[in-house]
Structure 1
Amino acid sequence: MGKFLFLKGDSGEGKTTLLFECLKPMHQMIGGFYSQRLVSEEGRTMGFRMVPAQEEWIPAAFYKKGMTNVFIQRTEHGFHKYPEFFVTEGLEILRASAHSRLCLMDEIGGVELFVPEFMEEVLRCIDRPVPCIGVLKSHKNLKAMKTRVPIQPDSDKLLLDLEEKLENRTNGRVFTFDREKKEYIRAEIMEFLSECTEKEGKETHDRKGLDL
């Protein structure tokens, strides 16, 4: 069984920024995904897309028609969600992370909560030998999202169920992000990454020993 570390907290506090700062030296070894906010030239949110972690890390990008991996998009009738994306390309991106040294999930807890196939794969990833690190959407952020994107009323319960499943596992930790505790959390992330790389190095050494 692998290890995991997730951050949760309000939007705009700097969770993803801190995570990317810590992960930057390992970029080429990381699988999984991050959520990219799409904006207009005026700065208006136009939607969100899932980007494979191996690609360049750009948390916000200008929206262009025909962009791939979009799971929420602004239309003339408001925001429209595409949960079917998570059953196809979304699942493929997650499954591909099995061949990486670390799996990034930034973030979990939105539209995908209503896609059982994807959420089952999320938990399988967390229980695989490959360590996982990422961000959980907070209940406050989920509530704010519901004012813009129509989703089922039991989303809070589904998010709570996910949190409980993670907290009941003994192979990881979930930190509530607080700007005042930023450096403490940074140290915890770096220790987690150090443990992951040490484990990888030991397993590589053991495999070489068996080959001798």
Structure 2
Amino acid sequence: MGKFLFLKGDSGEGKTTLLFECLKPWHKIMGGFYSQRLLNEDGMTMGFRMVPADEEWIPAAAYKKGLSNIFIQRTEHGFQKNLQFFKTDGMEILRSSAQSRLCLLDEIGGVELFAPEFMEEVLCRIDSQIPCIGVLKSHKNLQSMRTRVPTEPDPDKLLRELEEKLEKRSNGRILTFDREKKEHIRAEIKEFLRECTEKEGKEPHDGKGLDL
């Protein structure tokens, strides 16, 4: 069984920014995904899409018609979720990470909670031999999302159940992100990566070595 480390905290605090900074030397050997915010010319959020972790890391990008892997999209009727995506292309992105050395899950605990097949695959990734690292949506962020995106009843219950499943596993941790503790958390992430490296006895082959 592998290991996992998740960050949890309020939106806009810098969780993903810190995570990407720490993971930059590992980019070429990572599988999994990250959630990309899509913005129009006025800076308005138009939706979110899932991007495979082995592609360029751009947390916020310009919205364009025809983009693939969009799971939340703004329409004339407000934001709409696309759960079918998680059952098809989302599953393929997750399964393709099976041959990677690290798996990025940034983030989990949002609308995908209503796609049980996808969530089962997430847990399979976490229980695999490949270390997983990422962001877990906080309850506050989930409630905020509900004010904009239609959801099935009681998503908070589903998020609590996910947290309980993770907490029962002895092979990982969930760190609560706090800007005042940023450097401490940075050290925790780097230590996690060191442990993963030492276990394999390898380093990322990016030609530059590790800057840990």
* Alpha-carbon displacement from aligned partner over 1:73-94 (angstroms, at most 9, x marks no partner): 0001101110100010100010
1:154 positional shift: 1.2
* Alpha-carbon displacement from aligned partner over 1:119-148 (angstroms, at most 9, x marks no partner): 000000000000000000000000000000
Structure 1: runs of 5+ lacking an equivalent: 203-212
Aligned to 2:51: 51
Q: Which has the higher helix share?
A: 1
Is 1:95 aligned to 2:99, yes or no? no
* Amino acid of the structure 1 residue aligned with 2:161: D
Q: Secondary structure at the match of 2:201?
A: helix
Aligned to 2:139: 139
Q: Secondary structure at the match of 1:174?
A: strand
Q: Matched residues in 1 for 2:64 and 2:182: separation?
A: 34
Q: Secondary structure at the match of 1:79?
A: strand
Aligned to 2:11: 11
Number of equivalent positions: 202
Bigger radius of gyration: 1
Q: Matched residues in 1 for 2:195 and 2:133: separation?
A: 13
* Amino acid of the structure 2 residue aligned with 1:75: T
Question: Which TM-score applies when normalising by structure 2?
Answer: 0.94
Q: Secondary structure at the match of 1:184?
A: helix
Q: Matched residues in 2 for 1:145 and 1:130: separation?
A: 30
* Amino acid of the structure 2 residue aligned with 1:200: E
- TM alignment of 1:7-86, pairs within 5 A: 7-86=7-86
Q: Matched residues in 1 for 2:37 and 2:103: separation?
A: 20
Q: Matched residues in 1 for 2:70 and 2:5: separation?
A: 26
Q: Secondary structure at the match of 1:130?
A: coil
Q: Matched residues in 2 for 1:34 and 1:135: separation?
A: 9
Structure 2: runs of 5+ lacking an equivalent: 203-212
* Alpha-carbon displacement from aligned partner over 1:55-111 (angstroms, at most 9, x marks no partner): 000000010000000000000110111010001010001011110000000000111
Is 1:168 aligned to 2:168, yes or no? yes
- Counting aligned pairs with the same residue, the percent is 78
* Amino acid of the structure 1 residue aligned with 2:158: L
Q: Matched residues in 2 for 1:116 and 1:42: separation?
A: 35
* Amino acid of the structure 2 residue aligned with 1:13: E
1:170 positional shift: 0.2
Aligned to 2:205: none
* Amino acid of the structure 1 residue aligned with 2:192: F
- More moved, 192-201 vs 100-109: 192-201
Aligned to 2:210: none
Q: Secondary structure at the match of 1:11?
A: coil
* Amino acid of the structure 1 residue aligned with 2:116: P
* Amino acid of the structure 1 residue aligned with 2:123: L
Aligned to 1:115: 115
1:153 positional shift: 2.1
Q: Matched residues in 1 for 2:138 and 2:152: separation?
A: 17
Q: Matched residues in 2 for 1:37 and 1:200: separation?
A: 34
Q: Secondary structure at the match of 1:123?
A: helix
Q: Matched residues in 2 for 1:57 and 1:75: separation?
A: 26
Q: Matched residues in 2 for 1:20 and 1:175: separation?
A: 16
